Structure 1
């Protein structure tokens, strides 16, 4: 037990190293706060504090940092994000032109094709068939959802956006 107290600084250095390595892999600031708490435990050991005090100081500093500093750091990290929509979110609300007619009803024969404003061609079906019959080529539609590789569309004049 005497050796543990004498070389407790080695334990704190090992914990700091492990926490920093995990933090580099996760980048969520949890293990960074634990590493900083371990630094506080190391400083308590350097000033000759007993091992129970070292653990207590490390735990208190870690908890304080987790609840006081970490949320602010996460907000600051996310603040600089790119606000541009991508993937499916970027396609929702996009206007498209019908290339192959879309037939009202269910089934693979009722799927048509649309060319989106961004130039992509997608298989398309109507959102809720309501007796529209056929949406002819050249008609403007709006993408309301993406289901797999099929764009779910409504005629542009029905869209309220």
Structure 2
């Protein structure tokens, strides 16, 4: 049993290299900097192995380093990455709060609205709207949420 443990400790550097490569590949797929921090922690574990520390110490040092990198280095990197993003809402997020007009009577089960951006949507009265159960054609509405292909609306006058 002791021979197996010595073999594992002797070849631990290969395990560290495999972990580093695995974390870097996952990081390339996720682009979240979490696995990059784990790869850096594994690099510290590799350095600890090359200095001759026992395997248990290598794992502890690598874990502490990875946690420190995640807590200290990752937040400013994420902030720098997202610095130049366009803050304009898009897709479904851009529809929330958009005004429109009822085309076909909107109830809690069915209806149709034309939004101010020109889109026509299947619509329902939002259950959170105050006691309104239907909206007549021509009534001005505002989108409160989108679920699938249905816009939930409320009267602008509420």
TM-score, structure 2 as length reference: 0.70
- CA–CA distance in 2 between the matches of 1:51 and 1:148? 52
Unaligned runs of 5+ residues in structure 1 are none
Cα shift at 1:131: 8.7
Cα shift at 1:62: 1.6
- CA–CA distance in 2 between the matches of 1:32 and 1:48? 25
Q: Which residue number in structure 2 is paired with residue 43 of structure 1? A: 47
Cα shift at 1:129: 5.4
Residue of structure 2 aligned with 1:92, choices 90, 96, 103: 96
TM-score, structure 1 as length reference: 0.69
Q: Which residue number in structure 2 is paired with residue 151 of structure 1? A: 151
Bigger Rg, which one: 1
Counting matched residue pairs gives 151
Alignment of 1:26-105 (within 5 A): 26-100=30-104, 102=105
Q: Which residue number in structure 2 is paired with residue 114 of structure 1? A: 113
In the alignment, does 2:122 pair up with 1:123? yes
DSSP-derived class of the 1:41 partner: helix
Kept in 1, the 8 Å contact 2:101–2:137? The answer is: no
Q: Which residue number in structure 1 is paired with residue 136 of structure 2? A: 135
DSSP-derived class of the 1:119 partner: coil
Unaligned runs of 5+ residues in structure 2 are none
